[in-house]
């Protein structure tokens, strides 16, 4: 059961089919343009969408909004130091601000960055700087059925080849590996990457957005971690990094916030100089004092075993329910989301016409569920066509997830009714956020008779 009870509630929007149809048309069939007030169960992202605890809400009141040297900063700094084991702590308003600082202080045009897999905003910041991003995902991550427990690992051979080709100035390890399915990275793999980074003289950055989930999942299969608490496990991983970046909107259990942390004086100095120009003074870095307070408490709460066990179980329950229906899902389930493989599930829709996007439209129309494509629209050269159902932290109950499962069941039996999507308009960077699409040779109204309505 949920290791918390509900203290404040937010009414769930329940628009009927006709309103959903109008909303998705107005959104140019891109779920990012849907107003949240037209979404019943919102699994678009687990980023900044979780519920804060009563302890976090009360911490907000202690927020010290002094421009320089605010008390809130020192509480935040101590919490991040304890969490990461790193000395220098630099607050930023969210993860991509940390990525921008990295890209502009450590990279120059023509450089290369290697990674297990860069998250989309990290990649965009690298590319925006004129550098090249090289993903080296583990071969097992492409094997849907394999039960290999560390599908988030880097492919060490591919990474070493990239190093030998030259110009690699930075290594980024994303934990968990979001784009590869929220899969954990093993401590052993991170150690091997550390050795490569040392051999070729590149700093190792750990993108720690979901480090608590990573340690929880990894510990099940790694005897070395079994005697450690989650907090100790996190520090064991992060001890290997030169720089830690974190979008605290994930495992920071807050709605906004992030940080960079490092033991290296020279890097901390460079980051802070950049920070004052683009984010703010080093003791607030684009956040209010109250945000720093909530984040400090969030970092304490996220290492709670009961919280993590429940979270991972929610994801596993939904993944298991879909798998039992015969819907192809990434296995084993990751830490924050269920990944459905849309190209196989919708075998009648060619990959060129975005089967993943078609599924997001279908799920929304049938059950008011908002999911997101992680496929060719998001990354043109992605070898798979995922639909990601990200579970917000401490927000939905089993009944909400049962509604999602039911939505899939209905769409599964009627899947031939949905077809491909045409790309009407798309910006160059992060095109999925703002792209316009249209159904190709099918009419979304044809889903009216199977649409689920709340209260029926």
Ligand X SMILES: *Cc1c(COP(=O)(O)O)cnc(C)c1O
Closer residue to ligand X (CB): 246 or 361: 246
Output the CA–CA distances (angstroms, integers) from residue 61 to 4, 9, 75, 259, 289, in the order listed. 22, 21, 14, 21, 10
- Residue 120 appears among annotated catalytic residues: yes
CB of 429 to ligand X, least distance (A): 14
Closer residue to ligand X (CB): 371 or 418: 371
Largest CA distance in the chain: 63
Question: Can you spell out the DSSP letters for 324-372?
Answer: HTT--B-SS--SSEEEEEHHHHTTTS-GGG-HHHHHHHHHHHHH-EE-E
- Do the Cβ atoms of 172 and 135 come closer than 8 Å? no
CB of 256 to ligand X, least distance (A): 8
Q: Where are the alpha helices (DSSP H) in 151-221?
A: 156-165, 187-200, 211-219
Closer residue to ligand X (CB): 23 or 294: 294
Closer residue to ligand X (CB): 59 or 390: 390
Task: Give the span between the Cα atoms of 438 and 173, in whole angstroms.
Answer: 36
- Residue 307 appears among annotated catalytic residues: no
DSSP 8-state assignment for residue 38? G
Task: Give the span between the Cα atoms of 97 and 277, in whole angstroms.
Answer: 12
Binding residues (CB under 6 A) for ligand X: these are 47, 94-96, 119, 121-122, 174, 178, 207, 209, 247, 249-250, 258
Closer residue to ligand X (CB): 64 or 207: 207
Output the CA–CA distances (angstroms, integers) from residue 33 to 25, 26, 29, 239, 447, in the order listed. 10, 8, 8, 40, 21
Q: Tokens in use for 109? A: 């045009």
User: Which residue's CB comes closest to ligand X?
Assistant: 95
Query: What is the phi-psi region of residue 97: left when phi exceeds 0, alpha when psi lies from -120 to 50, beta otherwise?
Result: alpha
- Residue 250 appears among annotated catalytic residues: yes
Residues, the chain: 456
Closer residue to ligand X (CB): 207 or 279: 207
Task: Give the span between the Cα atoms of 173 and 167, in whole angstroms.
Answer: 18
List the catalytic residue out of 36, 54, 67, 78: 67
Task: Give the span between the Cα atoms of 351 and 344, in whole angstroms.
Answer: 10
Q: Residue 392: which of 106, 7, 41 has the closest Cα?
A: 41
CB of 121 to ligand X, least distance (A): 4
- Residue 148 appears among annotated catalytic residues: no
- Do the Cβ atoms of 42 and 404 come closer than 8 Å? no
CB of 44 to ligand X, least distance (A): 12
Question: From edge to edge, which strands make up the β-sheet containing 112-115?
Answer: 88-92, 258-262, 243-247, 204-207, 168-174, 112-115, 132-135
Q: Tokens in use for 287? A: 């956040």
- Residue 88 appears among annotated catalytic residues: no
State how beta strands 369-370 and 41-42 pair.
parallel
Closer residue to ligand X (CB): 249 or 400: 249
List the catalytic residue out of 111, 207, 222, 291: 207
List the catalytic residue out of 100, 151, 249, 250: 250
CB of 337 to ligand X, least distance (A): 10
CB of 202 to ligand X, least distance (A): 19
Closer residue to ligand X (CB): 339 or 408: 339
CB of 338 to ligand X, least distance (A): 16
Strand pairing partners for 244? 206, 261
Catalytic residues: 67, 119-120, 207, 209, 250, 432
């Amino acid at each position: 059961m949920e290791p918390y009870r509900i203290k404040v509630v937010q009414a769930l929007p329940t628009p009927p089919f006709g309103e959903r149809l109008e909303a998705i048309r107005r959104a140019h069939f891109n779920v990012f343009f849907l107003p949240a007030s037209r979404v019943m169960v919102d699994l678009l992202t687990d980023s900044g969408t979780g519920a804060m605890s009563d302890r976090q809400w009360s911490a907000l009141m202690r927020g010290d909004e002094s421009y320089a040297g605010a008390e809130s900063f020192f509480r935040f700094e101590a919490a991040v130091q304890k969490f990461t084991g790193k000395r220098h702590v630099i607050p930023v308003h969210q993860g991509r601000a940390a990525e921008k600082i990295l890209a502009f202080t450590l990279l120059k045009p023509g450089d290369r960055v290697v990674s297990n897999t860069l998250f989309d905003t990290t990649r965009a910041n690298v590319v925006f700087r004129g550098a090249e991003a090289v993903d080296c995902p583990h071969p097992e991550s492409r094997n849907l059925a394999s039960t290999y427990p560390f599908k988030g690992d880097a492919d060490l051979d591919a990474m070493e080849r990239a190093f030998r080709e030259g110009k690699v100035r930075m290594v980024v390890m994303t934990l968990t590996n979001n784009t590869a399915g929220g899969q954990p990275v093993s401590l052993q793999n991170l150690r091997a990457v550390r050795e490569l980074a040392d051999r070729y003289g590149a700093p190792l950055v750990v993108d720690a957005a979901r480090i608590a989930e990573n340690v929880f999942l990894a510990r099940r299969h790694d005897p070395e971690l079994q005697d450690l608490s989650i907090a100790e496990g996190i520090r064991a991983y992060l001890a290997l990094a030169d720089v830690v970046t974190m979008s605290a909107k994930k495992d920071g259990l807050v709605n906004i916030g992030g940080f960079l942390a490092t033991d290296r004086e020279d890097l901390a100095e460079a980051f802070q100089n950049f920070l004052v120009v683009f984010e703010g003074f080093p003791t607030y870095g684009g956040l209010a004092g109250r945000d720093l307070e909530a984040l400090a408490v969030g970092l304490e709460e996220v290492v709670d075993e009961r919280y993590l066990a429940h979270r991972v179980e929610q994801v596993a329950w939904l993944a298991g329910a879909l798998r039992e229906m015969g819907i192809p899902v990434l296995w084993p389930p990751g830490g924050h989301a269920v990944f459905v493989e849309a190209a196989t599930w919708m075998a009648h829709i060619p990959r060129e016409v975005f089967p993943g996007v078609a599924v997001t439209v279908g799920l929304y129309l049938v059950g008011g569920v908002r999911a997101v494509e992680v496929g060719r629209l998001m990354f043109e050269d992605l070898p798979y066509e995922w639909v990601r159902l990200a579970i917000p932290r401490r927000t939905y109950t089993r009944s909400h997830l049962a509604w999602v499962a039911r939505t899939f069941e209905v769409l599964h039996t009627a899947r031939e009714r949905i077809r491909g999507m045409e790309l009407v308009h798309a910006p160059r960077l992060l095109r999925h956020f703002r792209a316009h699409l249209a159904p190709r040779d099918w009419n979304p109204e044809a889903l009216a008779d199977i649409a689920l309505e709340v209260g029926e």
